[in-house]
Structure 1
Amino acid sequence: MKLKLIARFMWTVVSVVIIVMIINIIAVFSFIIYNNTTKSSLIEKKLEDVGIENYTRDFSKYIIISKEAVDIDKDGKSSLDNNNIWIQILDEQSKEVYSYRKPKGAKESYTPFELINQYKYVDVKTGATTFIGEKQIKGRKYSYIIGLPLSKIQREVITINYDNFIGIIGKFIYSILILDAFIALFFAYFFSRKLTRPLNNIINGVLVLSDGNYNLKLSEKGIYTVVYRNLNNLSSTLKSNEIERKKLDKMREEWISNMSHDIKTPLVSIKGYAELLSSDDYDLSKEEVKQYSKIIDSKANYIKELVDDLNLTTRLKNKVLKLNKKKVNMVSLVRNAVIDILNDPSNAEVDIDFICEHEEIEAFVDASLIMRTMKNLIYNAIVHNEEGVNIKVSVEKKDNLKIIISDNGKGIRPEELNHIFERYYRGTNTGKGHEGSGLGMAIANDIVKAHDGEIKILSELGRGTEIEIYL
């Protein structure tokens, strides 16, 4: 993976360099061809725009015959003045017949060798670079010399063997491309190492996480700081989830074990009494049949409650429970929950005070689920404390609805307080031979949250517990 990544990056850089070089070569040749073929008006364009070769070639159109003498029209003179150029016009014997802006030291007649030598090399006497053109007027041929200061343009003579020129140019271009490719390859490798090293760290980090190792810690620096930070955050999240999952699995196993035990006990009773009722070996009285039937019914109801709790907590956990919300008088609902618990004969000695300053406080809730929440919380206050505990239940409305369930009992240990609303959790101080699924508090918490509410618990060991519900 690492070598493939570096190779692809290097190939991309080298390809880009080669393409850019080819484009540059094409652009240079196109520019040269364009400059050599472009023609423009010498009056409208500057010398730098048209090129001296084109300028010399096109200047012939400004040479005219005036009163049987050779002359230059007004536009031609203007162009010479603007470009600081001088001119000599020679007849067929290479003698001067006209000049304009001619410098001192310029000859008035030339031999063919002198013309060639002056064109090929710098004219030392005039200190100028000269170019030569020709024009035919009325059957006669005239030559003209155009001179420019050395400070403006200079000529260097290069002798080229055209048989080898194309090959040399081709080899030169080929060599340049190879050299550039090697240079690009070197720098591509150098920079790819720096740029791909962080990517390798990221890839290795992902592989580590995919193997289930969540102890990943990458240094958060460089251009990939955000990516490193997100990977570290992902590692921390996965590690926390793994710890929570293992913890949840352990608690689920304990819960299943407790649930199996809790179900097994009533099932044994049900099976035993059912065998008695169906056996011909015993002559049972009507009262005994009735008593045994009640026990079977009670144990069956207990098992049903355990299964219902499991079903409800699963639906709440997966958020698939549809709430049947209606406008409900919360004072009556909470009061009825207290009355139902007090009407249970097993709670005859329980002391519960219901406190509310109003007879009607309405809220939009699922009445059956809120009723179950109230009973779960009050019942917990009973079974987790000794007999004689005083429980207070109050309902009040200020900015929002607040229900408080408090007691003056044993309180909850700090290490248990953090787990009190977790599924499958059972406290260590459960009293009165309490039988239950261990889901009561978790169900209450999930129901309140399903109503977009909040539940808080405050407790001090030896002084009691207070639970606040906000809806």
Structure 2
Amino acid sequence: MVRRRLAVRFSLQLVGAGALLVVLAVVIVIWILARLEEIEIRRSFAPTGISRLIAESRTDASGLIADPVLLERLREDGGWLQSLDDHGNVIQSFNAPDDLPDRYLPGQLMDYWIGSEPYPYRLGLWIQEKDGVTYTLLYGARSPTEDLLGRLIDDGKLEGGSLSFSEATLAMLGQRDGWVQVLDREGRELAAWGRPDGAPTTYLLQDLALQSVNNDGVGALMDTRYDKRTGYTWVYQYPMSEARRHAMPIPGMMPEAQVMIAGLAAFLLSALLLFIVLSIWYANRFGTPLIQILGAIRRLGGGNYAEPSPARPKRRRFALRKKDARKRRNRIFGEVFESLESLTRALRAGKDAAERTQRTREEWIAGVTHDMKTPLASIQGYAHLMAADKYSWTEDEIRKFASIILEKSEYMDKLINDLSLTYRLRSGDMPVVFEELDARGLLEHAVARAIGQPGYDGGRVHCSVPSSPVRAELHEPWFERIVDNLVANAFLHNPPDTLLRIAMTQDARDGSWRIDFADNGRGMDEQTVERLFERYYRGLNTEIGSEGSGLGMAVAKELVQAMGGRIEVRSEPGRGTVVSLIWDRSGRDLIRTADAT
């Protein structure tokens, strides 16, 4: 069943691709023929342009209604048309000069046509039937430089290898920006006027013949006249028009060759693109499911149980549609994919549970071991001193030892509380009720409480708050703990004369507010700022109070985030530090999402 379905599908797709290539080839051939016809019309209006003019014209009682575009081409070619009846009378004229007769006698027209009688124009006779009517068109053309060449021969003076003309003739030459050459009987230049650098000075018979008829590969138009009196050939060349020049994308190459190359390149490129599209489609349709199955099995074997991230709630419907579409595309492998997904979820759940348990145990052991070792060593050392029989301690010394032991014990107790708080915040196991409070009053109270501790100089702290209340959902003990930690951090890690400025500001437009703790202390380098919120990064120093446990900034960050805010730090060595607590819309949205969950 699967084999037959795949065979039918592949056959239909290959037949469709072949049909598309055939259609594309037909379109390209039609385009090539149209372009070649345009080239012929542009090069010489007759006979292609005349045939096309009759074919594309409309007819009425008075005769042909020609296409204006073709008539413009006729004018650019310097030609004219006359439509004749069966008796040689002129019915219609297109771009005809005033010196043309209104009637041609049959024998007279034949003599004009074959050249036995002189006629000022090169003639062509075209007979074609349209809509049951036979049209006889007389085409005439005269080189736009015909009169100019005659004037050049009559007016030009050839003396000592130089060529000169009268002022009137020079004015006519200036209108076309061309140049003149006089050739001897061997085609060598005797004299020239205005010839540009690089123009040939010797012409073979083939050169003159080809360039006079076809100028596309040269970029200049040429007209010649033989002077019977002297045996010299006069050559007049002038630049090709911009429209005709732009019709040659590749200079120096025949337009026909350019059209053929462009058509062949278009067909090959289209075939290549079709092949690439089909290859990608086949790879995506049949190769991708197999690669996904093999990759999933390989990941499961290597212990990687990752699964795509769940879609956002507002895109759930789109995600379901995408999943259904994938099942329809891969319905052959649908059961395999479903089994792999179920197995992946079960294995990942077990692995995540084991990793969480192991990680929690290791973190607790490492944290407790690291943070308890130094103060516990101090307690043990003083206890051994007090218990030693060979020493006799005074009452003041024993009281001093006991004070140190008590200090270290309080430090250890505070450290245990900090560790417990950080881990409970990270695990989300903190059943706290937030209240709508005035953050302005809480800040003033918390700052006064923090600077009132022994060893802190309240004169080095300046606190400013807005004049209006700042209402926010907060937990007062956590808020005070944050302020305590930040004030302690500013005092303990800076010189004694450091000043701390605490400023609360509120944006009335969106209700966001922030608190900046700015000191003028020694500052921090970039690496310290990046690792500031890592636990124990600054190391432990048992000679300072509990604020030096290395957990102060980590606890502050966890508490700020738990209350829907965020914390930012800016600092440079020697220029102080600014710690900003920010509550804006993003933090409130995060709180609502967590509550809904």
TM-score range, shorter chain: 0.3 to 0.5
Instruction: State TM-score, norm by structure 2.
Output: 0.37
Structure number with the bigger relative contact order (C-alpha 8 A, sep ≥ 6) is 1
The structure with the larger Rg is 1
Per the normalisation by structure 1, the TM-score is: 0.46
